Amino acid sequence: MRDPRGVEANESDQPAVSAGSLTGDGPADGGAPAGSAGEAELTGVGTSGRLPSTATGGDGDHTGKRIVREIMSGSALVSVLAVVVALVIGGLLIAVTDKRVAAASGYFFAEPGNTFAAAWTAVSEAYGALLRGATYDPGARTWLGQLGIFETLTFATPLILAGLAVTIAFRAGLFNIGAQGQIILGATFAGAVGFGLDLPPVIHLLAVIVAGAIGGAIWGGIAGVLKARTGAHEVIVTIMLNYIALSLVLYLLKNQLKAPGSTNPVSPAMKDSAVFPLLLGDNFRLHAGFLLAVVAVVAIAWLLNRSTLGFELRAIGANPSAARTAGMIVSRGYIVVMLISGALAGLAGVAQISGTEKSLDSEVAGSIGFDAITVALLGRSTPWGTFFAALLFGAFKAGGTSMAVNADVSIDIVLVVQSLIVLFIAAPPLIRAMFRLKTPSTRGAGA
């Protein structure tokens, strides 16, 4: 039981849904270039016909780059509206599945007001419970129940780190779908150090953190090296590496890393010296990993915006041809960014195993690796945007249970809302059309 509130049953099918909606949105978005801006870009690519051929690859997938750029060019407003629209549709679903609404709609034509009143009650109760569960609920019996905000932060911690992993790869033009596998590897390395070694208190935790980062970096680095040396597409490679990571950890859990005497594929518990200290005492799960995540946000923000390396990575992401012409080594950039990205995802694995899970099993990454993609997209691939998007998703997780218990609404609604957010974020033209927002034009039209 990793989650004290019993969300367990729900999590196993979450990755499948998230992954499904992600693979689905690519072609859909590609087929709908956003008006004149999209067209301009299409002709620009189509007519140049002179892209230098190199072994480093990464120039060929211009459609992919265009989709990524289209997603990233969405304004903050689009992100906010995507959440709002997703919540509205979620609300409609709550209303139509509510028993009281169904009862009232039986005499809809006699008394239409009753149906609407029932719907309003159902939706406001559900979302009210969600909000209170994620922030502050004066009516709850325990401290833990009252201050859901800290549970939100706990859930957000690995999402922040994994979201940053996706974000930084994104900025260098790579779509790292492999955060899931990198988290697993990070957690495995961290776990091996955490329960396998005996070290002095502070040093042990630091060693665990470093080991986790290295584990993730190795897994991300494989994709980076393959991309740089052979041009293998990082999306395919990272997806495949996810499966390998999962199988690898299962193998290790059945053999080398299995807890002595256990029949289940579960590792021994982390040593006390290898665990993040709790920040607010024993009543709350919030741990020092959250501080690590905040430090990571600040560090990545500096790296991307203030450092020469970040300048290089952003240039490579926005226009690899121009970056190469300006003397940057694009292939090296791909390797470096995948090492950093993998390390961040590895830290998310550390946050899991040293923060909340305390032992390694094959479910250690939950759906974090996939949610991280949504979080990064919702945060428009900026470090602080990712931070706040992760908080929102943490709130969904923390509040979802409360909604299920207090308002008798299935926790699956939260999943629906999350998936709708993915859909709307991935299709900014849809949101823009819905709210009649102007298409951001990068280039003036004309002769």
Residue 428 host element (H or E): helix 428-435
- Whose Cβ is closer to other proteins: residue 285's or residue 314's? 314
Out of 31, 50, 198, 281, name the contact with other proteins by CB under 8 A.
50
State the nearest-atom distance from the C-beta of 170 to other proteins, in Å.
13
Rounded Cα–Cα distance for residues 214 and 152 (Å): 27
Out of 114, 273, 321, 410, name the contact with other proteins by CB under 8 A.
321
Out of 77, 92, 322, 434, name the contact with other proteins by CB under 8 A.
322
- Whose Cβ is closer to other proteins: residue 130's or residue 315's? 315
DSSP state, 110? T
Angle of helix 112-134 relative to helix 76-97, nearest 10 degrees, comes to 120
- Alpha carbons within 13 angstroms on the beta-carbon side of residue 369 total 34
308 binds other proteins (CB under 8 A): yes
Give Cα separations from 107 to 92, 121, 123, 171, 347 (angstroms): 19, 17, 20, 55, 56
Retrieve residue 186's tokens.
């990070």
38 binds other proteins (CB under 8 A): no
Radius of gyration of the chain (CA): 23
For residue 226, which of 183, 272, 184, 178 has the smallest C-alpha distance? Answer: 178
Rounded Cα–Cα distance for residues 210 and 328 (Å): 29
- Whose Cβ is closer to other proteins: residue 140's or residue 232's? 232
For residue 275, which of 336, 205, 344, 186 has the smallest C-alpha distance? Answer: 205
Instruction: Please answer whether residues 33 and 39 qualify as being in contact, where contact means their C-beta atoms are separated by less than 8 angstroms.
Output: yes
Contacting range for other proteins; rule: CB under 8 A; set: 44-52, 253-261, 274-282, 378-386: 44-52
Out of 2, 17, 54, 196, name the contact with other proteins by CB under 8 A.
54
Give the chain's end-to-end CA distance (angstroms, integer).
64
- Whose Cβ is closer to other proteins: residue 135's or residue 321's? 321
Binding mask 151-190 for other proteins (x = CB under 8 A): ----------------------------------------
For residue 401, which of 16, 98, 125, 4 has the smallest C-alpha distance? Answer: 4
Out of 325, 384, 434, 435, name the contact with other proteins by CB under 8 A.
325
Per CB under 8 A, contacts with other proteins among 66-125 are 69
Out of 94, 177, 190, 315, name the contact with other proteins by CB under 8 A.
315
- Whose Cβ is closer to other proteins: residue 266's or residue 318's? 318
State the nearest-atom distance from the C-beta of 228 to other proteins, in Å.
15
Contacting range for other proteins; rule: CB under 8 A; set: 233-241, 356-364, 421-429, 433-441: 433-441
Out of 314, 380, 397, 432, name the contact with other proteins by CB under 8 A.
314
For residue 82, which of 445, 447, 417 has the smallest C-alpha distance? Answer: 417
Residue 373 host element (H or E): helix 368-378
Where on the chain is the footprint of other proteins (CB under 8 A)?
A: 36, 43-44, 46-48, 50-55, 69, 306-309, 311-312, 314-315, 318-319, 321-329, 438-439, 441-447
